[in-house]
Amino acid sequence: MVLAKRILVCGGGGFIGSHMVNRLKSEGHFVAAADLKFPEFDRTTADIFFQGDLRNQENCDQIFKESWDEVYQFAADMGGAGYIFTGENDANVMHNSALINLNIVERCVAYGVKKVLYSSSACIYPAYNQMDPNNPKCFEASAYPAAPDSEYGWEKLFSERLYLSFMRNYGLEVRVVRYHNIFGPKGTWMGGKEKAPAAMCRKVAEAPDGGTIEVWGPGTQTRSFLYIDECIEGTRRLMESAFTGPVNIGSEEMIAINDLAKMAIDISGKNLTLKNIEGPVGVMGRNSDNDILRKELNWEPSQTLRDGMEKTYTWISDQVNSLQSV
């Protein structure tokens, strides 16, 4: 039996955060969520929901004085390629996320939090190791010499070092996870902040049979995508382990973006064609390397991309249909 804890999920209104709240509640913990907004597609299951701006120090003090055993830190200013790689949001991304992390890690120490998990990203990996779409290098030690391809990645790398320095200097127990493109139902699927799987599912769901969907870039750029349930499972295993990290949590099933689009088309049963257009792309190749995950946690994801895409397409298609029928 798991000993019930008081757990705070920062970013608990977001995609990964709201799923983590559900998981922790199912295990019997007392769970609070803190975020600017409530979950978009579900009622929160949190015992307490602090709706407020984590960039604000007074808000953070109000939240942290409630006394928490553990904190999961998912809160960030982020989105998909259409948000991260245009350059137009760089200042906000760096300022907002850094401020949130500075506030949270300081209060973890000040208010006696026992353990904090920081959610970093595969975006910290150097662009020079991700030029070959067929052979990207994304093992944990390859993060240095540092050269992320976006300011989002630079802030994530800074904050990894921030949390680890607080562990060294103040004894705060820390876990650092590097996520690789998490997707699934009840995530952002329109508006510019959605990631590739959701974008492809939306475009296919919206397209008339016999039509065309647009894909940014040459379509030969590769990625791997991890279904949300496995993300949550891996994250819980890391938090309960004695391993600090950083550790990749992602899939090793790499796919070209054109092939991802074709998978969504196949799932839909429609007859559609692809049109590659200019657009933000990011690095040419990225894939999780799970050697450390297997070694330290004795676990790795097992669900296929196709399985996750089928569930995601069904959900997004329902969203599209409900909007179109209004």
Q: Please give the pLDDT value at position 191.
A: 86
- Where in the sequence is the domain holding 203, given as residue range(s)? 184-223+253-285+304-324
- Looking at the fold, whether 129 and 52 belong to one and the same domain comes out as yes
Tokens of 297: 């946690």
Name the band, by pLDDT with cuts 50, 70 and 90, for residue 84: confident
Angle at CA of residue 93, ends 87 and 95, nearest 5°:
120
Measured CA distances, 174 to 24, 130, 303 (Å): 18, 28, 28
pLDDT given at position 309? 98
Cα gap 266→310, rounded to integer Å: 10
Q: What is the per-residue pLDDT across 177-229, written as a single tens digit (0 to 9) for each? A: 999 999 999 999 998 888 899 999 999 999 999 999 999 999 999 999 999 99
Q: Are residues 159 and 217 in the same domain?
A: no
What is the distance of C-alpha 112 from the center of its chain? 27
Q: Tell me, what CATH number does 281's domain have?
A: 3.90.25.10
pLDDT at residue number 326: 62
DSSP E strand stretches across 76-230: 115-121, 173-179, 182-183, 212-216, 222-223, 226-227
pLDDT band at 2 (very low <50, low <70, confident <90, very high): low
Q: Is the omega angle on the peptide bond into residue 145 within 30 degrees of 0, that is, cis?
A: yes
In this prediction, residue 147 has a pLDDT band, given cuts at 50, 70 and 90, of very high
| 77 and 166 both lie in a single domain | yes
Does residue 1 belong to any structural domain of this protein? no
pTM equals 0.95
Q: Who contacts 208 (Cβ-Cβ below 8 Å, separation ≥6)?
A: none
In the residue annotation, 152 being an active-site residue is answered as yes
Residues 318 and 217 in one domain: yes
Among candidate residues 72, 83, 125, 152, the one labeled active-site is 152
Q: What is the pLDDT of residue 325?
A: 74
Please give the helix or strand (H or E) that residue 248 lies within, else none.
strand 247-249
Q: Check pLDDT > 60 for residue 1.
A: no
